[in-house]
Structure 1
Amino acid sequence: MKLGRRTMAGRRPGVVIAVVIALAATAFIVPRASATNPGIGLFPGTDASDTRTVTIADITDFHGHVERGEDNASAYALAEAHNPGAMVKVSAGDLVGGSPYESAFEQDRPTLDMARAWGLTISAMGNHELDRGVKDFNDRIADPANGIDWLCANVSAANKSPNGKLSRVKDYVIRKVNGKRIAFVGALTDALGAVATPQITRDADLTEDAVHAINRVADRLRDGSEANGEADAVVALLHADASAAEGTKRGEAIDGNVDLVYTGHSHAIKRGRTAAGAPVIEAGSFGRQMAVQDLVITGSGRHAKVEVRDVDLGNGMTQTANAKGVYDLKGLVEGWNGAHVGQAAWQSAGADDAAPIVRRTDDIYAAAADRADRVGSRVVGTIAKGSYFGKVASRGTESALGMLVADAERDAVRRAFYAGDRIPVIGFSNDGSLRTDNLDLNGDGKISLREVDSMMALQFKVAKRVLTGRQLKAVLAQQWRGKAGRLVVSRLGVSSNVSYRYTTDGKAPLVPGESVEDAGSVSIVDLKIDGRPIDDDDLVIAASNSFLLQGGDRYTAFRAGTDYRELDKGYGQALVDYLSRHPKVGFSAPVTGTVLV
């Protein structure tokens, strides 16, 4: 492998976009090897001296943030003006799911419409695409009418068969662009079980490690046999943290047949390399960033030489987002509308069609926002003056918001399954299921349907499970976890009818919000529900969302319980119902856990 470097073209703030947008930064020159997708014709042989450029524009973890769609459309228009007719728009997963209200209340239809307006036709399958279940993804989100090829090579071959649950998912697709064949290979994080319910994990049926699956497909795409097709460049779309692509151990490293890797899942902005030297780029989240790279390809098939160059979208209009080749899109649409001289530069660069992509995106968002305002403005509850139901900065203490949600889940389960007092009911909530920082987003003391649904935007159901007192203590103890020889605390929301204390094993006391060297393990003591002491053999009903009670967020101790059941009610609806029955709700309960020394 030969590795080359180039220096970043200097950016001159305030200079309008030129006819040819400058190429930037580090260039990776990697000789590679290559196979085609069924249904795509074989590519005729090319002269080894033939050099063509294909531009790739990548987003990841958009999560339905249609309010930022115009900035993305503007960035796509800039990239298209840089290399007209030779650009591919891709996503590294989680295009939908966990979305703001404007998209979520219509099951992400606005996001799918917006992606189609952008011309985004390739995406890795992310875990949040599966939020409503594997069947919903395959039947609705992956509907060919949406125009997106969904990729996940580590889904089992049987599951991708015509009769499989993910029959519309592919290992890879090839696009013939500017005379070159670009293969895109997708894969999903190996840790799906930690971020999806057991049922979704079983239905997805990931039978290979993500890196192994990418290598398997890339090696076939570069095996030199035109009988099964060849690719001139291979791009991996891996919905996992960039570190997964940067492994160097044998069997864990992406091999030299991959020219460029886009990653996601962790919402980070990162730049690294595979063990073979290919760039690994993670482009943030929520439509705030985009990665844009050129593949400069000389020759074809296994003998092709591929040089990866960062594309400078800037010249004063965009800023690099803490990693080379990743750009901050905030406010970029202002550069497209009539307020910025850059618009004239786009038109002079032959980008007269820049306006339609932005205009269509704006129309989709405006219509979605209007519908969302009409539905979401309904007031569903009020909070007492001076009360604050928000997440706290430190994970070491229990938040009022978490406790309120836990109380709501408890109330829903008591009303649906058990209205007596013989078996105590305890409610839980987890921080990851709460998507905004504050329930009362505008501070007016009135809680709207939009505010609840924006905070509880995931597709979880209200659920219950029966635990023994011993099992409940094990759940509470899992708030403290060992990490690199330290105990780190991350609080659950626990309903206000619960109190307990905890001890460490005597090596060191643990203070909420702090990590202590060699703190040892934690034991739960003096556990009471509704003022009643709970013994190890007592039965308790745990109420929460379906994800948490199935062991989500690594709270695996819940799985030891019995009689798991779900209500046909979203976890957010439980809070809506609770607020309607408790006007001017306030926060007065103390933090439940205290250190016993």
Structure 2
Amino acid sequence: MPKPLLARLALLLAATLPLGALADCATPDSSPTVLLGSVDSGVSNRAVDGQCTIDDLIADEQAWGSQAAFLNHASKISFDLLKQRRITAAERSRLMVAAQSSGIGTQLKVKLIAFNDFHGSIKAGEGSSSNPGVARFATRIQALKAVNPLHAVVSAGDMIGASPLTSALFKDEPTIEAMNRIGIDFNAVGNHEFDEGREELLRMQHGGNHPTDAFSGKGLAADKKHGEFAGAQFKFLAANVLDTATQQTLLPGVGIKDFLGNKVAFIGMTLEATPTIVSPAGVAGLSFADEADTVNALVPQLQAQGIKSVVVLVHEGGFAAGGMNGCSGASGPIVDIVSRLDPEVDLVISGHTHQAYNCLLPNKAGKPVRVTSGGQYARNLTDIDLTLDTRSKDVLSIAATNLLTGTGGEQDAGLLELVNHYDALALVPKSRVIGSITAAISRAANAAGESALGDVIADAQLKATQPVGFGEARVAFMNPGGIRADLPFNPPSGQVTYGDAFTVQPFGNSLVTMSLSGAQIKTLLETQFTGCNGQLAERILQVSQGFSYRYSSAQPCNARIDQMMLDGQPVSPAASYRVTVNSFLADGGDGFVVLREGTQRLGGAVDTDAFEAYLQSTPGGVSPGPQNRITRQ
């Protein structure tokens, strides 16, 4: 066959090949000329492959990791069109000039979907009527993912711990499995991830059933590995948590995600003060470094890898007014942390304070940095758009908005399946009636810092440890952070279920009775105030019946407490008293280190068991506490 005829046949065959494989032409581009970005090529736009137009085929609306990638694509499509005689050589030249001038591929938009302080809130309405549940939460996340296929889902800590019963009864494995199903990328380790110690945290990451807990490994077959709890399919990050023996991080410090050749680094950290607010036994052998210092040391290492887009996920936060997207009067530890950050940090996603805010705070160079927090318990998500420069690999701009999850709307079927599975398993232990109350009992504190529920819990712990052989306690103190929810009144008779009690006290702390002098009790109470004896935040201890005291915030540290009374008599500095606290406080938790000095220690019941016994010992129902034991001047 003559060569000219072969050439013509080749062109005819080429003309039959589809060009629109990469283009969605259900709604063909109707512009009269081919527009590449804002640049008009001057080439007539027309259908060249079914309904697909030239503009459709070049597909300048899709994401490109670099300008070179877009130019290669434009060159290939235009060359194929030229070979098939759909365009002229002059038109191809104009298309390539427009492609070069368009700037397409020089910028890339990446979506980050962030949350914090989830605390195992997988079942809608559990613990709080405003808890939307993980099935609605997942639907909201999937909708945001669909907006941009280039995305990452990240958490700023306390994903687990202090969880309602549907997750906590099963060692928080349900929450990890739910997050696996959602498909999150990174979780910065929060203080509550250390509630049960380092080994349990590592089990959450790597999997395997709990060695002694019968409720472990109860997940659906699809969520397990070799018949056991599979662990997290995402990375826990803890850049500032070091094993003191090896000086290596307990978990990876940095997670990196590549978006079409553009890498974003996520540095994850817990708050430096973690050892003061978790059981010291749980963090034995670990050190917690300064958050800003840790980030600043990592930035040069990331730059050496060519990574210039840096996001910090830190489980530490602050406070601000103005609603969930406001930032009026920003205060708290996060302000200081950001003020010391290297200017190369582009974004800070924070947590811990359970507040929702959307701030611009100055960094070390005085440059404003976007700082967000999404609140708590799946109620909100933070929708963040990063615009990256694909040439410099740095962040050009950031837009962020906190969005309400809401308690209505569609629930993800897969997540609902998981929640219903665990809810059914928990039904029997959760619904067991353990007593009754005469009215709802609130954890809300009065002006002195005393709550009705705090009074009741302290009384329960005192009663459990008063008898001879059980501690002979005279007074009990309860930390307010250990009271996680109000105790609801269930009509018609105010019955309290084990699930209600567990939601109030989910930590499973045991009671410890010890001997303290009156002077040590005063030191304990003087440590309640911010800045006093190393205290980082005000924490007013709840006290049992028979004990009372007065304090003045206007006085200096260690001179604020007076009129300490026990059973109608002044507390003597030199006398010894039997005092009950939970095991968290007994180890010096929440900064109350004087409790480590307690002598003649005796272990007691688990706090929820003591609470159950107290409810059962009051046949007519327990009433809200009087809130008259602490007086503030």
Unaligned runs of 5+ in 1: 1-42, 224-228, 311-323, 338-357, 505-509
1:120: which partner in 2?
184
2:495: which partner in 1?
446
1:380: which partner in 2?
434
1:495: which partner in 2?
544
1:427: which partner in 2?
476
Q: How does 1:4-403 map to 2 (within 5 A)?
A: 50-66=106-122, 67=124, 68-84=133-149, 86-143=150-207, 145-156=231-242, 167=250, 169-206=251-288, 208-223=289-304, 229-242=305-318, 244-247=333-336, 253-273=340-360, 274-275=362-363, 276-299=367-390, 303-310=392-399, 324-331=400-407, 334=409, 336=410, 358-383=412-437, 386-396=438-448, 398-403=450-455
Contact in 2 for aligned 1:245/1:254 (Cα 8 Å): no
Distance 2:483 2:562 in 1: 26
1:583: which partner in 2?
619
Contact in 2 for aligned 1:54/1:178 (Cα 8 Å): no
Contact in 2 for aligned 1:160/1:170 (Cα 8 Å): no
Distance 1:583 1:93 in 2: 42
Amino acid at match of 1:306: V
Amino acid at match of 1:205: S
Post-superposition shift, 1:286? 0.7
1:203-259 CA distance string (max 9 Å, x none): 4311x2111111211221013xxxxx332522110111155454489xx51112222
Post-superposition shift, 1:429? 1.4
1:94-113 CA distance string (max 9 Å, x none): 00111112111111121111
Post-superposition shift, 1:587? 4.0
Q: 485, 501, 508: which one pairs with 1:436?
A: 485
Counterpart of 1:170 in 2: which secondary structure? coil
Contact in 2 for aligned 1:500/1:524 (Cα 8 Å): no
Amino acid at match of 2:448: G
Amino acid at match of 2:275: G
Post-superposition shift, 1:69? 0.8
Counterpart of 1:190 in 2: which secondary structure? coil
1:547: which partner in 2?
584
Contact in 1 for aligned 2:205/2:235 (Cα 8 Å): no
1:559: which partner in 2?
596
Distance 1:437 1:534 in 2: 32
Distance 1:377 1:449 in 2: 6
Contact in 2 for aligned 1:153/1:213 (Cα 8 Å): yes
Distance 2:435 2:375 in 1: 35
Whether 1:521 and 2:524 are equivalent positions in the alignment is no
Distance 2:428 2:464 in 1: 27
Counterpart of 1:78 in 2: which secondary structure? helix
Distance 1:148 1:436 in 2: 29
Post-superposition shift, 1:92? 0.6
Distance 1:469 1:282, change over 3 A: same
Post-superposition shift, 1:441? 5.5
1:112-136 CA distance string (max 9 Å, x none): 1110010013110000011111221
Counterpart of 2:456 in 1: which secondary structure? helix
Distance 1:490 1:145 in 2: 34
> Identity of counterpart residues, as a percentage?
23
Amino acid at match of 2:234: I
Distance 2:630 2:597 in 1: 26
Q: Which structure exhibits the higher relative contact order, with contacts defined as CA atoms closer than 8 Å and separated by 6 or more residues?
A: 1
TM-score normalised according to structure 2 size? 0.69
Distance 1:524 1:77 in 2: 56
Distance 1:466 1:263 in 2: 40
CA root-mean-square deviation: 3.4
Distance 1:565 1:295, change over 3 A: farther
Corresponding residue pairs, total? 484
Distance 1:236 1:418, change over 3 A: same
Distance 1:534 1:521, change over 3 A: closer
1:33-53 CA distance string (max 9 Å, x none): xxxxxxxxxx99988964332
Counterpart of 2:354 in 1: which secondary structure? coil
Contact in 2 for aligned 1:239/1:264 (Cα 8 Å): yes
Contact in 2 for aligned 1:246/1:254 (Cα 8 Å): no
Distance 1:247 1:433 in 2: 27
Amino acid at match of 2:459: D
Amino acid at match of 1:90: V
2:575: which partner in 1?
538
Post-superposition shift, 1:298? 2.0
Post-superposition shift, 1:174? 1.2
Counterpart of 1:186 in 2: which secondary structure? strand
Unaligned runs of 5+ in 2: 1-64, 70-102, 125-132, 208-229, 319-331
Q: How does 1:455-494 map to 2 (within 5 A)?
A: 455-479=504-528, 491-494=540-543
1:320: which partner in 2?
none
Counterpart of 1:428 in 2: which secondary structure? strand
Counterpart of 1:156 in 2: which secondary structure? strand
Contact in 2 for aligned 1:476/1:524 (Cα 8 Å): no
Distance 1:378 1:248 in 2: 46
Pick the structure with greater CA Rg. Answer: 2
Whether 1:570 and 2:606 are equivalent positions in the alignment is yes
Post-superposition shift, 1:577? 2.7
